[in-house]
A and B are shown apart, each in its own frame.
Chain A
Amino acid sequence: MGRRRRLVDPAAEAGAGALPKVIAALSRSLPAGPSPEIFRRAKFDRPEAAPALWQLLFRLLSPRSADGASASLALEAQVCLVKSALRSQGYPRLVLAQLPEDGSRGSRELLLALSWLLARGPLPEQLLAQAHVQLGDEIPVCECEALASPGPRVPHVEAEGPVDIRCVQWLMGRLRFRWRCLIASQQEQCTLLSKLLRRLERENTGLEAALEWRRGELVFWRWMDTVLGACPPEAPAAATQPTFLPRIAERGLGRLELAARELRALQEELCEATGRRRAAWEARVGGQGRGPQWSSARQALQKAVEQELAALRWAWEQDRGPARPHGPHRLVRCEDEAPGGQHLRAAEVIQALRSQEACLEAALRRLQGQCRQELARLAGALPGLIWILPPRC
C-alpha cells in the first residue's frame, strides 16, 4: 500500500499525552468522530471498535446530502456502501472487501482505510468547507445575468372626487398593520441571527480542531506505522498493486486549450456581427431628425450603452487564468496580497457593482423622463388646470 512517507522530525517528538490529544482533535474535526479509545482498540483489531469506525467511514464517504435520511440506514447497508465507495476510489487492500457484512470485525483494517483517506487529501478541511454556514456574505459575480428584470407592477391609484374619511382611516389602519408586521419580521431576524451565531460557534470549534490536528498529525502517522506493522503480511499480489491516485492534470490542460480557441473564434464572430449591425442601423437612422429632443435621448442612450459595455468588458478582460470569476463569492478579510486561485479584489467587485448601478440609474432616469412627458401631455389636454410636476431628482 503506498503511503506518503513523512520525514521524522525530532522537534515534533512530544510527550506521552500527545497522541490521544491529536486523535481527539482529529475526531472533533470529523463528523461522528469516535473517541481516542476506539482508535486504540482498533490498533489491536478489537471487534467492539468496528461499528463506530464503519459508521465514521460511512459518514465520510456517503454523498453530501446524506445528513438526515441515510444516517438511519442499517449497519449492513452502511458497510456495503463503504466497501463499494472505497473500491471505486481505488483502495488497494483486499482484506477490507472480505470483512463480514454485519460490521462486527475488522477495526484495524478500518483504521488503515481511514488513514489512507486522510493521507490522500485534506479531508477534515474539505468536510468543514462542505458544512460551512451560509452567512449571506456572498455576492454573485456574473455579468451575463439580465441586468434589470421588470419589477412588480405598481397598483394604479386614481383620486376621484371627495374621499370618505372612513376610507382614509382604513388605509391608515393598513399601514399600521404593515408596520407591526415589519417589527415582527425584524424580531424574527434577530432570533435567526442568534441561531446563526450559535452555528458559527460550532463551526469554529470544528475549525480549531482541524488546526490542532494539522499541528500534531506527525504523531498520528508515526503511530499508524506501528499499526501497519502489527498487521499480518499481505498477499504478494495485493502488495504489488500500484497506488491509484486520481489525476486530471494532463487531460484538463488539453481541454482548456480547446476552450480558449473556441472563445477566440466566438469573439471574432461577435465583432463581425456587431460591425454589420452597426452599419445597417446607421444606414436606417442616417437621415432622421436631429432636433434637441433627439440629441438628448441619443446622449442618454449612448451613455447607457457605454456603461453596459464597460461592465461586459470588465467581466471578459479578467486575466485570472482558466477559471472565470463566475458565481457567488464570499467576503473574506485577507492580510496578505497573495493572488491566484479564485480570488477577486473587493475593489473590482465594487467597480462592477458601480457600473451596474449606473446602468440601472440611467434606466430609471429614462423612465422618469417618459413619465414627465406623459404628465405634460395630460396637462396639455386639460387647459383649466394647473399641474405642479414633482421636482427633478
Chain B
Amino acid sequence: MSIVTVQLGQCGNQIGFEVFDTLFSDSHSSQGLCSKRENEAYRASCKERFFNEEENGVPIARAVLVDMEPKVINQTLSKAAQSGRWKYGQHAYFCQKQGSGNNWAYGYSVHGPRHEESIMNLIQKEVEKCDSLSGFFIIMSMAGGTGSGIGAFVTQNLQDQYAHSLKMNQIIWPYGTGEVIVQNYNSILTLSHLYRSSDALLVHENDAVHKICAKLMNIKQISFSDINQVLAHQLGSVFQPVYCAEGSFHYRRNPLGDLMENLVPHPEFKMLGVRNIPQMSENSLAYSTFTWAGLLKHLRQMLISHAKMEEGIDWQVRPPLSGLPPLGKMPLNKELHFNTSIANLVILRGKDVQSADLEGFKDPALYTSWLHPIHALNVWKTQRAFSKYEKSASLVSNSQFLVKPLDMIVGKAWNMFASKAYLHQYTKFGIEEEDFLDSFTLLEQVVASYYNL
C-alpha cells in the first residue's frame, strides 16, 4: 500500500527531499547483507510505498510540494531531478510568487482557503495514482508561519475529504532559543489543530537533532542539510519495509496502519518520539562493530531516561520498584526523571537480528499500569540492513518524552497571551482569543493525561 507525502513550507520540502533520497539510496544499496531475491523484494516494497513506477522512466516520488514561495520548491525539484535516480512529478507542486511573512493566521485563514482547491486537486491526483492508499504523511514545521498555518489547514481538509485514510504529521519542534518571537503561539495553535484532525504526531526536536550532529556525527559547521539528513535517516529506519511476523516471508503491506494501531489508538495520546541507534559519521562507521545486546541496552536506557541520543545517557535513572506508590499520584510539576511509556515499537534491522533479545523492553515497570507489555510492546525485525549500518535499532515511542517540552511551550505561550502580546497579528486574520483558549485547554489536557500515566 502506498503513502502520499505532503511537503509543506521550507522545512517540509527540504526534509522531504532528504527522506526520499534516503529511502531510495537505501533500497538500491548493495550492502543489504541479504540474498539478491530478498533485496529485490525489499526494493519492490519500498517502491510501492513511496515511488510511482513509470515505463522506462525514473521513479517518481509520491509527493505533493506546497510552499508560498518558489525558491525552496525550485531548489528541491532540481536537486531531485539532477540526481538522475529519482525525481518529483513534473506538476506535483504548488507555490505562489510571494511569501506570507511568517504569519500563522494568514497561512491558516487566507492562504489555506484561497488555494484549497488547487492543493487538494494535486493531492487527489497523487492519490489516484496509488493502487491502494495506506495514508498521508505530512511534513511540516510547528512554529513557522506559512508552513504551519497551511499545514494545519491542509490536515483538516484531509480529515474532511479522506476521513477513512490515515494521517501522520511529521512535525519539527523548534529550537528552544528560536528565531521567531511568536513561535510559541504558532506552536500551540498548530499542535491543537493537528491533535484534532491528525491520527499521529511524529515529533523531531531541532535541538536534539542538532546535538546529534555535533556530538555523534562530529560535524563542525552544522547546516540544515546535515540536520535534515539525520532526520531522514531516522524516518527511513522506521518506514522502510519490515517483515510481518517471526519467520514470515513477506513484507508488511500497511506500514502506517500497523504503526498507528499499535501506538496511537487512544485519542488523547498521539505524540510519538523517535530514537535511533547507532548514529555516527560514515568514517567512524567503518571502524565500529556492535552487538544487539549493547545496542538494546543503550536504547532502553535512552527510553527511560529521556535521552535524545546514545551519548550522555543518565544511567542512574531506573524504573520504579513495585512497592512504591504508582507514578500517577505525582503532582503535576514534579521533575520527571523516569519516562513512563504507554506503548513502544522497536524496529531492528540487520545481521543476526533473530538473536536479539528484547526482554529488557518487556518489563512492566516501563509501562503505564493500564496497558500490559504484551499489548504495549511491538517488535519488528528484518534481516536486511539499513543504509550501511550493519545493525540498527529504532524506537518509536508513545511516552512522556515530549510532555516537558510541551509544558514549557504552553507555559511560555500562556505568559505571552496573558499580556496580550502580538495578538493583533492573529485576530487580524480571524484567529480570535477564543481559538487560543481552546488550544490552551486542549493542550493542558494532553499534558495532564501524559503526566498522569
B102 CB within 8 Å of chain A: no
Contact B133 A184 (CB under 8 A): yes
A191 to B254, CA, bound (A): 17
A185 to B132, CA, bound (A): 7
The residue on A at minimum CB distance from B452 is A166
Partner of A184, one of B134, B268, B375: B134
Contact A173 B131 (CB under 8 A): no
Given contacts A173-B265, A178-B261, contact A184 B370 (CB under 8 A): no
With A177-B261, A177-B265 already in contact, 15 other A-B pairs whose C-beta atoms are closer than 8 Å: A164-B369, A169-B266, A171-B265, A173-B266, A173-B267, A174-B261, A180-B166, A180-B257, A181-B261, A184-B135, A184-B254, A184-B257, A185-B132, A187-B133, A191-B131
Chain A residues touching B, majority SS: helix
A15 to B132, CA, bound (A): 52
The residue on B at minimum CB distance from A189 is B132
Chain B residues touching A, majority SS: loop
Report the 8 A-B pairs with minimum CB-CB distance, sorted nearest first: A173-B265, A188-B132, A164-B370, A177-B261, A181-B257, A174-B265, A167-B370, A183-B164
Give 19 CB contacts A-B under 8 Å: A164-B370, A169-B266, A169-B268, A170-B265, A170-B371, A171-B265, A174-B265, A177-B257, A177-B265, A180-B166, A181-B261, A184-B1, A184-B132, A184-B133, A184-B135, A184-B257, A191-B132, A192-B131, A195-B131
Q: Which of chain A's residues have a CB closer than 8 A to the CB of B134?
A: 184
CB contacts under 8 Å to B, within A35-50, are none
The residue on A at minimum CB distance from B166 is A180
Q: Which of chain B's residues have a CB closer than 8 A to the CB of A176?
A: 265
* Shortest beta-carbon distance from B94 to chain A in Å: 25
Q: Which of chain B's residues have a CB closer than 8 A to the CB of A172?
A: 265
B58 CB within 8 Å of chain A: no
- Interface size grouping (class) on chain B: 20 to 34
B425 CB within 8 Å of chain A: no
A200 to B371, CA, bound (A): 50
The residue on A at minimum CB distance from B2 is A188
Contact A166 B370 (CB under 8 A): yes
Q: Which of chain A's residues have a CB closer than 8 A to the CB of B120?
A: none
Q: Which of chain A's residues have a CB closer than 8 A to the CB of B370?
A: 163-164, 166-167, 170
CB contacts under 8 Å to B, within A176-217, are 176-178, 180-181, 183-185, 187-188, 191-192, 195
* Shortest beta-carbon distance from A165 to chain B in Å: 8
* Shortest beta-carbon distance from B370 to chain A in Å: 3
Given contacts A180-B257, A181-B257, A185-B132, contact A166 B164 (CB under 8 A): no
Contact B165 A180 (CB under 8 A): yes
CB contacts under 8 Å to A, within B90-146, are 131-135
Q: Which of chain A's residues have a CB closer than 8 A to the CB of B133?
A: 184, 187
B260 CB within 8 Å of chain A: yes
The residue on B at minimum CB distance from A167 is B370
A331 to B362, CA, bound (A): 51
Q: Which of chain A's residues have a CB closer than 8 A to the CB of B264?
A: 173
As a 0/1 sequence over residues 343 to 371 of chain B, the CB contacts with chain A under 8 angstroms (1 = contact) are 00000000000000000000000000111
A169 to B342, CA, bound (A): 13
CB contacts under 8 Å to A, within B225-268, are 254, 257, 260-261, 264-268
CB contacts under 8 Å to A, within B200-240, are none
A132 to B375, CA, bound (A): 46
* Shortest beta-carbon distance from B255 to chain A in Å: 11
* Shortest beta-carbon distance from A373 to chain B in Å: 28
Q: Which of chain A's residues have a CB closer than 8 A to the CB of B375?
A: 170
Q: Which of chain A's residues have a CB closer than 8 A to the CB of B260?
A: 177
CB contacts under 8 Å to A, within B147-167, are 164-166
A184 to B266, CA, bound (A): 21
> Chain B CB within 10 Å — which of A163, A170, A174 has the most?
A170
As a 0/1 sequence over residues 209 to 235 of chain A, the CB contacts with chain B under 8 angstroms (1 = contact) are 000000000000000000000000000
Contact A187 B257 (CB under 8 A): no
The residue on A at minimum CB distance from B342 is A170
A167 to B371, CA, bound (A): 6
Q: Which of chain B's residues have a CB closer than 8 A to the CB of A166?
A: 266, 370-371
A43 to B120, CA, bound (A): 59
A192 to B164, CA, bound (A): 19
A74 to B290, CA, bound (A): 48
> Chain A CB within 10 Å — which of B134, B266, B268, B371 has the most?
B266
* Shortest beta-carbon distance from A163 to chain B in Å: 8
A171 to B135, CA, bound (A): 21
* Shortest beta-carbon distance from B163 to chain A in Å: 9
A188 to B165, CA, bound (A): 12
* Shortest beta-carbon distance from B247 to chain A in Å: 13
Contact B254 A181 (CB under 8 A): yes
* Shortest beta-carbon distance from B197 to chain A in Å: 15
A166 to B371, CA, bound (A): 9
As a 0/1 sequence over residues 271 to 306 of chain B, the CB contacts with chain A under 8 angstroms (1 = contact) are 000000000000000000000000000000000000
* Shortest beta-carbon distance from A143 to chain B in Å: 29
Contact B265 A184 (CB under 8 A): no
A118 to B268, CA, bound (A): 71
